[in-house]
């Protein structure tokens, strides 16, 4: 399912399909006044129906504003050189807005200003749109890759190097610093200090996922602290609890434009693919748990769907260019 959630929890597959069918019919030339009245009655039956309709409307709006957003992204890219010249001044302003408190362990506690995530993403130093990726080499030689729909702020000063992950996902390769400054990454749920390393940070809706590939990363949340070694992964939410596991080494394949599925479920694969596309891809519960193995291109949805239908007992149903459903083949 698409990552674009207008509510904390979307209605189930069948209700979303009904809403999409209503939308497609009412957009056609065949819709009558009676159809509009029937839709009104359907919407009044359940709040879930209303949430589903709102979601379908939002997905359709994504496509109606593609041209305008592309213009904004082009302007943003044109201004990126000017941004680099002003980063120092903006970093100073952020230093006044954000309170950095160093505790006994030397880990930084970062307090975000009261702005919506969308507003903060639009004002970020660097950002990518849906389906876009970008790589940046910082002044100290550190390398940062930005995945789809990602925004970061950069604050380099005399004491530390700091990356604020506003939203999305980044892969970082840190470089030695001649000034011996520490290297920090902050997300909505915690702070991470790189200890000479290569690591991935993914800011999800309600939690942060940290994956360490080389070196070590020190993590501090509201309630816990831990040093993560290479090959390990930590997930932490607002409660501060750390959930530790082995790293999925293939997760970083996104920088090469692919999703590597190793016994991933179909629903999990579609959820990841949805991050790179504006439309909705729904999966019927009847096939959601099918196991998927392979490498799938993030930028070619049609090819991925073709690969899946060739290897799984499924078929693809499309109500519009921006609404696709995967259902059982029979």
Residue 266 three-state SS: helix
In angstroms, the Cα distances linking 117 to 110, 132, 209, 288 are 16, 19, 18, 30
Q: Are 172 and 262 within one domain?
A: no
Residue 312's φ and ψ, nearest 5 degrees, are -125, 155
CATH number at residue 221: 2.60.120.1440
Q: How far apart are CA 277 and CA 169, in angstroms?
A: 15
Rounded CA separation 198/208 (Å)? 17
One domain for residues 292 and 152: no
Per the domain annotation, does 55 fall within a domain? Answer: no
User: Which of 235, 251, 267 is at the close of a domain?
Assistant: 251
- Structure-token match 């999305």, residue found: 168
In a domain, 139, yes or no: yes
Length of the chain: 330
Alpha-carbon distance 151 to 112, whole Å? 14
In a domain, 70, yes or no: no
Is residue 17 a contact partner of residue 1, using CB atoms and an 8 Å limit?
no
User: Residues 310, 279: one domain?
Assistant: yes
The 10 Å Cβ neighbour count of residue 28 is 9
Domain harbouring 270, CATH code: 3.55.50.30
For residues 237 and 100, state if they share a domain: yes
Phi, psi dihedral angles at 84 (to 5 degrees): -60, -35
Q: Where are the beta strands (DSSP E) in the chain?
A: 100-102, 108-110, 126-127, 134-137, 143-146, 151-156, 160-173, 182-186, 191-194, 198-203, 207-214, 216-220, 225-229, 232-237, 242-246, 258-265, 280-283, 291-297, 314-320, 323-328
In a domain, 80, yes or no: no
Minimal CA–CA distance to 285: which of 257, 305, 307, 314? 314
Number of domains in the chain: 2
So what's the pLDDT on residue 300? 95
Q: How far apart are CA 286 and CA 9, in angstroms?
A: 20
Cβ-contact 195, 216 below 8 angstroms: yes
Round the CA-based radius of gyration of the chain to a whole number and report it: 22
Structure confidence at residue 290 (pLDDT): 97
Which of 251, 269, 299 corresponds to the end of one domain?
A: 251
Residue-level pLDDT at 91: 46
Closest CA to 53 of 39, 63, 65: 39
164 and 299 together in one domain? no
**Which of 249, 130, 151, 133 has its CA nearest to residue 200?**
249
Kindly state whether residues 268 and 281 are assigned to the same domain: yes
Residue 17 falls inside a structural domain = no
What pLDDT shows up at residue 66?
A: 57
Pair (106, 242) in one structural domain: yes
What pLDDT sits at residue 75?
43
Q: Is residue 48, in this structure, part of any structural domain at all? A: no
Beta strands 151-156; 191-194: pairing state: unpaired
Q: Tell whether 36 is covered by a domain.
A: no
Residue 174 sits in the same domain as residue 301:
no
Residue whose C-alpha is closest to residue 200's, from 185, 188, 189, 178: 185
For residues 244 and 96, membership in a common domain is answered with yes
Q: Domain for residue 16, yes or no? A: no
- In DSSP terms, 45 is beta-bridged to none
Domain that holds residue 209: 87-251
Tell me the pLDDT of the chain (330 aa) as tens digits.
444 444 457 889 999 999 999 999 988 888 899 999 999 999 999 999 999 999 999 998 876 655 455 444 444 444 444 444 444 444 444 443 433 333 444 444 444 444 566 777 888 999 999 999 999 999 999 999 999 999 999 999 999 999 999 999 999 999 999 999 999 999 999 999 999 899 999 999 899 999 999 999 999 999 999 999 999 999 999 999 999 999 988 889 999 999 999 879 999 999 999 999 989 999 999 999 999 999 999 999 999 999 999 999 999 999 888 999 999 998
Say if residue 303 is in the same domain as residue 209: no
Residues 167 and 239 reside in one and the same domain: yes
Q: Say whether both 166 and 234 belong to one domain.
A: yes
CA 75, distance to chain mean position in Å, is 22
């Amino acid at each position: 399912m698409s990552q674009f959630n207008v509510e904390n929890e979307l209605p189930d597959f069948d209700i979303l399909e009904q809403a999409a069918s209503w939308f497609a019919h009412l957009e056609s030339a065949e819709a009558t006044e009676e159809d509009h009245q029937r839709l009104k009655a359907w919407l009044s039956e359940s709040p879930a129906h209303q949430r589903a309709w709102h979601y379908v409307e939002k997905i359709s709006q994504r496509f109606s504003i593609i041209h305008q957003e592309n213009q904004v992204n082009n302007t943003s890219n044109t201004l990126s050189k000017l941004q680099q010249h002003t980063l120092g001044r903006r970093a100073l302003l952020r230093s006044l807005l954000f309170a950095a408190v160093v505790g006994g362990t030397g880990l930084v506690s970062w307090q975000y200003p009261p702005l919506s995530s969308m507003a903060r993403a639009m004002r970020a130093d660097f950002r990518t749109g849906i389906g876009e990726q970008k790589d940046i080499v910082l002044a100290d030689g550190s390398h940062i890759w930005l995945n789809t729909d990602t925004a970061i702020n950069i604050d380099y000063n005399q004491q530390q190097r700091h990356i604020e992950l506003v939203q999305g996902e980044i892969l970082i390769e840190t470089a030695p610093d001649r000034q011996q400054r520490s290297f920090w990454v902050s997300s909505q749920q915690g702070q991470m200090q790189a200890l000479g390393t290569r690591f991935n940070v993914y800011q999800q809706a309600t939690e942060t996922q940290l994956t360490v590939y080389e070196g070590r990363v020190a993590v501090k949340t509201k309630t816990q602290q831990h040093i993560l070694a290479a090959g390990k992964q930590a997930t932490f939410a607002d409660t501060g609890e750390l959930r530790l596991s082995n790293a999925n080494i293939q997760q970083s394949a996104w920088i090469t434009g692919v999703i590597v599925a190793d016994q991933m479920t179909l629903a999990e694969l579609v959820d990841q693919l949805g991050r790179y596309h504006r439309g909705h891809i729904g999966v019927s519960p009847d096939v959601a748990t099918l196991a998927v193995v392979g490498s799938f291109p993030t930028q070619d949805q049609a090819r991925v769907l073709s690969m899946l239908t060739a290897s799984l007992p499924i078929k693809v149903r499309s109500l519009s260019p921006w609404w696709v459903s995967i259902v059982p083949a029979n």
